[in-house]
Amino acid sequence: MSADIKSSLPKPPSDPRPEAVRTTLPIWIIVLTLMLLFLGGLYFDNHSGWFQTQVYGPYASVDQLELYQPKSGAAAELARGKVVYEQVCGLCHGADGLGKPGQAPPLAGSEWVMAKGYNRLAHIPLAGLSGNISVAGKDWNMGMAAMGAALPDADLAAVLTYIRTSWGNGASPVPMEDVTKVRAGLGARPQPMSHDMLMTMPE
Partner 1 sequence: MTANETIHPTAPAPEIDASCRLPLLALLVGASVWLVVGTVLALIASIKFHAPEFLAACPLLTYGRVVAAANDALVYGFCLPASLAVIIWVFARLSQTVYTLPLVPVVAAHIWHLGVFIGLLSILLGHSTGFTWLEFPRGGSILLFVAFVLIAIPTAASFGFRLEKDLYPSHWFLLAALLWFPWSYASANIFLVAMPVRGVAQGVVNLWFANNLLYVWFSLVGLGIGFYFLPKLTGRPLQTYYYALYVFWTLALFGTWCGLPQGSPFPAWITTLSSVAAVLLIVPLIGVTVVFGRSLGGPGSDGPMGGPLSFVKFGLVSFLLSTLMYIALACPQISRLLEFTWFGVAQSQLQILGFLAMVLFGAIYYILPRALGFDFIAPQFIRAHCFLAGLGVVFWVAPLALAGYAQGANAYSLDASLNWLRISTLGLGFILLGNLLFALNILAMFLTWKLNLVKTLFAAITAPLKVSEVKS
Partner 2 sequence: MAASIQLGSVTQTTVLNSSDVYPPQRTGDATLGLQVYRANGCAACHTEQVRQEGVTCAVVLTGAGKNPQAVTNLLATLTLTGLTKEAADAVADQITAAGGKVEIHIVPVGTDIDHGWGVRRSVAEDYLHDYPVQLGSLRAGPDLANIGVRAPDANWQLLHLYAPQSVTGTSRMPSFKYLFTVQKVGATPSPDALNLPAAFAAPAGFEVVPKPEARQLAAYLLSLRANVPVYDAPFTPPAQP
Element (H, E) at 134: strand 132-135
Helix (H, G, I), strand (E, B) or coil at 52: coil
Measured from the CB atom, the residue of 55 and 197 that comes closer to partner 2 is 55
- List all residues 6 or more positions away from 72 whose beta carbon is below 8 Å from its beta carbon: 80
Cα–Cα distance for residue pair 103/105, rounded to 1 Å: 7
Considering beta carbons, is residue 57 or 70 the nearer one to partner 1?
57
Contacts 24+ apart (CB under 8 A), 153-156: 153/179, 153/180, 153/183, 154/80, 155/80, 155/84, 156/84, 156/122, 156/125, 156/126
- The nearest distance, CB 97 to partner 2, in angstroms, is 19
49 forms part of the interface with partner 1 (CB under 8 A) = yes
Residue 194: phi and psi, rounded to 5, are: -130, 170
- Residue 103 binds which of partner 2, partner 1, none (CB < 5-8 A, kind-dependent): none
CB of 85 to partner 2, least distance (A): 11
Residue 54 interacting with partner 2 (CB under 8 A): yes
Q: Binding partner 2 by CB under 8 A: which of 17, 71, 116, 189?
A: 71
Q: Which residues contact 190 (CB under 8 A, 6 or more apart)?
A: 126, 127, 128, 146
Q: Per-residue x/- marks for partner 1, 58-87, CB under 8 A?
A: -xx---------------------------
Please identify, using beta-carbon distances, which residue of 63 and 111 lies nearer to partner 2: 63
84 binds partner 2 (CB under 8 A): yes
Considering only 75, 150, 184, 199, the residue that binds partner 2 (CB under 8 A) is 75
Determine the Cα–Cα distance for residues 49 and 153; give it in Å rounded to an integer: 30
Decide whether 12 or 102 has the Cβ nearer to partner 1: 12
Binding to partner 2, residues 135-164 (CB under 8 A): 155
Would you tell me how many other CB atoms lie within 10 Å of the CB of residue 5? 10
Which residues contact partner 1 by CB under 8 A?
A: 1-2, 4-6, 8-13, 15-25, 29, 32-33, 36-37, 40-41, 43-44, 47-57, 59-60
